[in-house]
C-alpha cells in the first residue's frame, strides 16, 4: 500500500515503521498523542475511490495525517460500501494496534456512518459498530467521526 503525507510526499518505509517513527518523534517532543483512523469513499461513474487516513492529534498542538487512496471498479450497495470503509479502517488499525499499546497511545476507529435513521448509511451502523467494538477498538460515528467524515472525505478526489 502506498501511503503519503498531506503535502503529497510519499512515505518511503512500510506504514508500521512510519507510524512508529512518528510516535517516537512526537512523544519525544513531549506531545500527548491520540490516533484516529477512518475511511471515506466516493462513487464517480463506474469507479469507487476509497481514502483511509491515520490522523495523529497532538493534545492542544494540532495534528497531521498519513493518507492512502485506492480505486476500484467493483460495484457496492450503500450498506456494502459503508462496511468496506469500516473494514479498511479496521485493517489499518489492526496492523498498527500493537504500536499504540506499546507506546500507550489512545486510538479510535471512525466510521462515516450517520446515526440518524433517516439516512441510508444508517443501515450499516449496527454491523459497523459491532465489527469495530468486537475487534476491541474504540468507535466513533457521525457527527464525532471527524477522521472519516472530514479528513478522509477531503482526500477522496
- The pTM score is 0.92
Walk me through the domains of the chain, giving residue ranges and CATH numbers.
Answer: 4-155 (3.30.420)
What is the C-alpha to C-alpha distance for residues 109 and 82, in angstroms, rounded to an integer?
13
Residue-wise pLDDT tens digits, 24-62:
999 999 999 999 999 999 999 999 999 999 999 999 999
**Do the beta carbons of residue 40 and residue 153 sit within 8 Å?**
yes
What is the C-alpha to C-alpha distance for residues 141 and 131, in angstroms, rounded to an integer?
13
Sign for the CA dihedral angle at 68, 132, 40, 87 comes to positive
**CA angle at 108 for the pair 107 and 113, rounded to the nearest 5°:** 165
Residue-wise pLDDT tens digits, 77-121:
988 998 999 999 999 999 999 999 999 999 999 998 888 878 777
Amino acid at each position: 500500500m502506498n501511503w503519503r503525507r498531506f503535502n503529497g510526499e510519499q512515505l518511503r518505509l512500510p506504514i508500521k515503521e512510519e507510524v512508529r517513527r512518528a510516535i517516537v518523534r512526537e512523544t519525544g517532543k513531549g506531545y500527548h498523542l491520540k490516533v484516529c483512523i477512518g475511511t471515506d469513499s466516493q462513487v464517480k461513474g463506474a469507479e469507487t475511490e476509497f481514502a483511509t487516513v491515520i490522523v495523529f492529534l497532538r493534545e492542544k498542538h494540532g495534528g497531521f495525517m498519513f493518507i492512502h487512496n485506492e480505486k476500484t471498479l467493483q460495484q457496492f450497495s450503500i450498506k456494502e460500501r459503508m462496511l468496506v470503509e469500516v473494514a479498511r479502517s479496521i485493517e489499518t488499525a489492526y496492523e498498527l494496534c500493537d504500536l499504540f499499546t506499546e507506546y500507550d497511545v489512545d486510538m479510535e476507529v471512525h466510521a462515516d456512518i450517520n446515526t440518524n435513521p433517516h439516512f441510508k448509511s444508517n443501515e450499516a451502523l449496527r454491523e459497523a459498530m459491532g465489527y469495530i467494538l468486537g475487534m476491541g477498538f474504540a468507535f466513533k460515528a457521525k457527527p464525532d467521526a471527524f477522521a472519516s467524515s472530514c479528513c478522509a472525505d477531503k482526500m477522496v478526489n
